A and B are shown apart, each in its own frame.
Chain A
Amino acid sequence: MKLYKIFKNAILITVACLALSACATSKKSTGQMQGDVYTGTDSVEYLASGVPDRVFFATNETVLTTASRETLRKQAAWLRKNSKISIVLEGHADERGTREYNLALGERRANSAKDYLMTYGISSDRISVLSYGKERPVDSGSNPLAWSKNRRSVTVKAN
């Protein structure tokens, strides 16, 4: 009888552990996305300390999120301080779209970022735009989290 109780407890504990670890993994993926916009940091690089290089988009969208605008304002401030630096805005789409449309979508995303930088005083002479469509994902996975990392515009130093 006692043995049975121990056994039962052991099973309960195992079940609890499994539930916890399941929570941990699902939390990890939802915690890095708001709606379907990527909010994590593991694929982000930095132009300078505190200046992230990329912004993320919702599926099929080209509008900038609040977080994206904040990132771009940091980039604009940094570019104003470093007036000799020119940049390329590289626009990307996820793999869930047709190739040609995604090329156009990537171009539109990079231009959203460009327009915003220009309203914060960065001359269009310093900005060029390059769309890769879905050709250069940063995450090769085929799942919503990977796709959210890939829908992005990345600011790259041109010189």
Chain B
Amino acid sequence: MFRILFGIFLIISPTHVFALIEVDITRGNLNPLPIAVSPLSIDENSKKDLNKILKKKNIGSSISKIVETNLKISGLFNPLDKDAFLQAPDIANLKPRFEDWNLIKAQALITGKVDFVDEKLRVEFRLWDVLAGKEMMALAFTTVPSNWRRVGHIITDKVYERLTGEKGYFDTRIIYVAEEGPKTRRIKKLAIMDQDGANNKFLTLGNELVLTPRFNPTSQMVTYLSYFRNLPRVYLLDIETGMQEVVGDFPGMTFAPRFSPKGKKIIMSFAKDGNSDIYTMDLENRIVEKITNHPSIDTSPSYSPDGKYICFNSDRSGYQQIYVMNSDGSNVKRISFGKGLYGTPVWSPRGDLIAFTKLHKGKFYIGVMRTDGSGERLLTENFYQEAPSWSPNGRVLIFYRETKTDSKGEGFSAKLWSIDLTGYNERLVNTPTDASDPSWSSLLSN
């Protein structure tokens, strides 16, 4: 499904100009960049043909709507109201009248064009610096029409990268656990959706309890915990084929799985006789290695992106804390020393930070710290929340939060939320049902 090829052409390579607009993403952005997303222009024939296939009256507007929503959600951009646009989309794409766009205070402008050629959707777009009166980027894509949403996401990624200097995270998916029913008999299913909540699909039926799905680096495989036949074991699922297999031949519970950075191994906990240790299994030769050997609980392992280190959760000090060790299990060091309990460490894709859940005085926090434990920053506090997962560019965390909706503590809800690394821009992520345990994919178009 992810392998559908996109033809991407550079129309005009952007001449290397300096002093063009830039967006700083390292701080909480209180002044999002005003940007005008002009609807992509489309001729009447293409409009009619594509409407027949996609049931969208104006696919040009639909794609630009996706770009606009993505940019807004990033918190870094302020897409301007279309009613104020003076120039028609087709003319703007040829040559914007920068004075008009300047007048409505747009600093950047996105224009473009959609065609239906040889049963394919062809989309071109341009990014303009309104103040400098210059074109910053021009690209075109050709793909099957059903990929139209992804085109919107890829355009956003390109614009984000051009304006912030970092890769985007919009052409991505989220795998998570869809939940329904009362707490005492909760039904849980694996589900997958686009980053913006579209194209939601359930991957299991809900006959058995499933927990903690995580993508492999290519986002085609998922490892998760299933209670199939009441035996909690780590499984592997191929998203395209639906093939499932149990990982390893362990006599007790295996849980807390994640892939190694190259996707060749699964790292997980194995519990037996009241003791949980961390193991890896090589997916090619099926060799199992024991990484930790301690009578305490060792769980929630996560590799550093270079594969040299592992952070994990252990209560060897008496309570849950975060530790880092070499990937062979040597040189174990505790890194969390703040007040409270620490769990679910997960290494940032940029390598410099570890995100975690913290419990202190009856509150749950999502936070980040450097890999030596210094610089702890708590991003969000709530009654109950856990399980952060990084966006592929390491700028946003997605996690889940449960809220008790009445004073008796009954009638609760579980939802996915995202927050920027800066601690700003906290947002509810739409899901059709209650949701937990999110895992963010890599960029699919890479």
Which residues of A are at the interface with B, using a C-beta cutoff of 8 A? 60, 62, 95-101, 103-105, 107-108, 110-112, 114-115, 129-132, 135-143, 146
Contacts and interface: CB of A to CB of B under 8 A. Distances in A.
Given A103-B271, A111-B274, A141-B408, A97 B359 contact: yes
Contacts of A140: 182-184, 409-410, 412
Kindly name the residue among A101, A110, A112, A143 whose own CB sees the greatest number of chain B CB atoms within 10 A: A101
Given A60-B319, A108-B297, A100 B212 contact: yes
A95 B256 CA distance: 17
A22 B241 CA distance: 60
Nearest to B319: A60
Contacts of B357: 98
B343 A101 contact: yes
Contacts, number: 107
A135 B232 CA distance: 12
A129 B230 CA distance: 11
A100 B274 contact: no
B123 to A, nearest CB: 41
B292 to A, nearest CB: 12
Interface residues of B, number: 45
Given A98-B300, A98-B357, A140-B183, A103 B255 contact: yes
B212 A99 contact: yes
A101 B274 contact: no
A141 to B, nearest CB: 4
B206 to A, nearest CB: 13
Interface in B232-254: 232, 252-253
22 contacts: A60-B319, A95-B402, A97-B320, A98-B320, A98-B357, A99-B211, A99-B387, A100-B344, A101-B300, A101-B315, A103-B253, A103-B255, A107-B274, A112-B274, A129-B252, A131-B253, A140-B410, A140-B412, A141-B408, A142-B404, A143-B408, A146-B409
A122 to B, nearest CB: 15
A120 B269 CA distance: 30
A84 B211 CA distance: 34
Nearest to B269: A104
Given A130-B232, A135-B209, A115 B186 contact: no
A60 to B, nearest CB: 7
Kindly name the residue among B183, B209, B320 whose own CB sees the greatest number of chain A CB atoms within 10 A: B183
Given A99-B437, A101-B300, A142-B409, 7 more contacts: A98-B300, A100-B256, A103-B299, A104-B276, A110-B274, A111-B273, A140-B412
B387 to A, nearest CB: 7
B319 A137 contact: no
Contacts of B252: 107, 129
A101 B387 CA distance: 12
Kindly name the residue among B185, B211, B299 whose own CB sees the greatest number of chain A CB atoms within 10 A: B299
Contacts of A130: 230, 232, 253
